[in-house]
Structure 1
């Protein structure tokens, strides 16, 4: 299959496959964790490079993703599968022995966007759910039904960088006083109706849907916990590869790598700090999908890949 093309088995378009494989630098007898299986586009490539002694650990919060993983990989003795958040990957027994690579492909997956019943897309009418794990937590509809105007506005501003967050929050509270918001089309129409007139390069509800989804799934908090857990699990020489799809995620990843790769700024007024020993090394700059891939898969347009390596001299945490 050509890079950027759909997988024959799933029809899914995995993002930046060639760059991810270059970043992970898979070795035949290594152990690798895909913390966001999705439909297995990246996992499939890792497995192709593993020999009989290699191991591939697969995680996802989505039961549909786990069912897909079981169908395709469940019989492979090199593969172990677990349903759960990558934020808790350190609690998984096979991870405690250390891994040679971790991949986190953040955000909502293409299959989740494409299925109206999951409630992620403003372009497909469905229940206003947005939970990546439909069996846990509070749905978007339930949160919008109980949160006060200020909380809604804060979420839209913080996680969606929505400039008219207060206006949208006020409209949501007014609308639910008449009838609950239970459908994606209802929320999308409401947001579009209160946005300022003029040209919109993106759908008026894009930032609102992003913000509510991030809040409902605690995505940024889970990312921070997942980076810590992945870092701790890496063996010396192991690599971390993270694909982000918006600036809030990428900023967290960038700062995390920099914090562990570069010494903090000195202060002449304070005692000399201990010698800084990096526990991560940034591998190249941020990478983006090429023009050919974006043309074949428009969802790759906003993807940013960052790769870091645990120094060979580093020790696993005790």
Structure 2
């Protein structure tokens, strides 16, 4: 999940957080797992949601792009005698794993897991020094590649949009100056420079590098693009009456999910400059009020839950619409993504 930008010893700052499934009761209430149903867990992680869904009697098809999670999950696969399959893949292609008659439910818990944060060698945390990596799958462009090779203008876009960092320009220019003589290699190396350039004020609850690290992780793993693709894939994969449940941890993620469900709600569309209005058949209907947040009690026990938001909807009988990424208003970062050749 994306980093929590609140105070305290959180994932955002790399502090140790024992893995606890966020909004578990709310997820189960929205999914309604039971015997005879097939649920896809697109973000297996430590298997928190999967375990609870299996306990409710449903079969689970689980996915994860992290080979470490796949290896760790084999014991759970063996323990459930054919009721759980675990696949090493990105959740953006989840429709490839759906049975022919469709899925009864899909749950997505977006972003990086607390287990990945706790592994210094993965480079997600700057409280535990490690290589500046951040790749969930271990392949492709690393955070070090981006920091040491991207143009300043591109770094500003990454930090500003994906991290919502107000000092994006100052930090990017400082990176350019420093990398000319000594490339960045470790997490604390980068975090230390950011702290010098934008020192923490007394009222600040988070480390000055938090948003930059968030932005780099989101960019390196194309987290927003993966989420957008996964939503379209879910529309294809769910059977009528199937339920899509998405837990997000940041406004950028939640905005994508909200726009998707709004676009698929069947509301009339059209321009205020044109008299013609296009009526469309809804492919999803909201579950309940459409948005749930963690209770104060859960947030107290599990700091990760503080920024969590849950949105859920039920698939209708109408055919899936065409995938149109323009509805999300995502920035075009393709030029930067060619860093890896």
TM-score (norm 1): 0.90
Higher RCO (CA-CA < 8 Å; seq separation 6+): 2
C-alpha displacement of 1:89 = 1.3
Matching residue of 2:177: 174
Give distance in 2, aligned partners of 1:149 and 1:316.
41
Matching residue of 1:36: 43
- Equivalent of 1:303 in 276, 297, 308: 308
**2:123, 2:131 within 8 Å by CA — same for their partners in 1?**
yes
Matches within 5 A, 1:14-29: 14-29=21-36
SS at match of 1:178: coil
- Equivalent of 2:148 in 145, 148, 162: 145
Give distance in 2, aligned partners of 1:117 and 1:214.
18
Cα distance change on mapping 1:294 and 1:255 into 2, 3 Å: same
1:285 aligns with 2:285: no
Cα distance change on mapping 1:157 and 1:264 into 2, 3 Å: farther
SS at match of 2:50: helix
Give distance in 2, aligned partners of 1:24 and 1:55.
13
**2:268, 2:278 within 8 Å by CA — same for their partners in 1?**
no
C-alpha displacement of 1:12 = 2.2
Q: Encode CA deviations 1:102-154: one digit per residue, 9 max, x unaligned.
A: 011001101011111111112211111101111x2111112212111111111
Q: Encode CA deviations 1:186-206: one digit per residue, 9 max, x unaligned.
A: 111111111156331211111
Matching residue of 1:250: 254
Give distance in 2, aligned partners of 1:200 and 1:16.
27
C-alpha displacement of 1:213 = 0.4
Give distance in 1, aligned partners of 2:235 and 2:293.
23
SS at match of 1:261: coil
Cα RMSD after superposing both structures: 1.9
Give distance in 2, aligned partners of 1:274 and 1:316.
17
Give distance in 1, aligned partners of 2:259 and 2:212.
25
Give distance in 2, aligned partners of 1:25 and 1:36.
18
Matching residue of 1:5: none
Give distance in 1, aligned partners of 2:277 and 2:101.
32
Give distance in 2, aligned partners of 1:288 and 1:140.
31
SS at match of 2:73: helix
**1:34, 1:57 within 8 Å by CA — same for their partners in 2?**
yes
Give distance in 2, aligned partners of 1:38 and 1:127.
22
Cα distance change on mapping 1:316 and 1:149 into 2, 3 Å: closer
Q: Encode CA deviations 1:9-65: one digit per residue, 9 max, x unaligned.
A: xx6211110000001111310111000000000100000112xxx421010000111
C-alpha displacement of 1:317 = 8.2
- Equivalent of 2:86 in 75, 81, 85: 81
C-alpha displacement of 1:266 = 4.6
Cα distance change on mapping 1:197 and 1:219 into 2, 3 Å: closer
Structure 1 unaligned segments of length 5 or more: list them.
1-10
Matching residue of 1:294: 299
- Equivalent of 2:187 in 174, 184, 188: 184
**1:233, 1:316 within 8 Å by CA — same for their partners in 2?**
no
C-alpha displacement of 1:281 = 0.8
C-alpha displacement of 1:272 = 4.8
Structure 2 unaligned segments of length 5 or more: list them.
1-17, 323-341
Cα distance change on mapping 1:203 and 1:28 into 2, 3 Å: same
Matches within 5 A, 1:206-225: 206-225=210-229
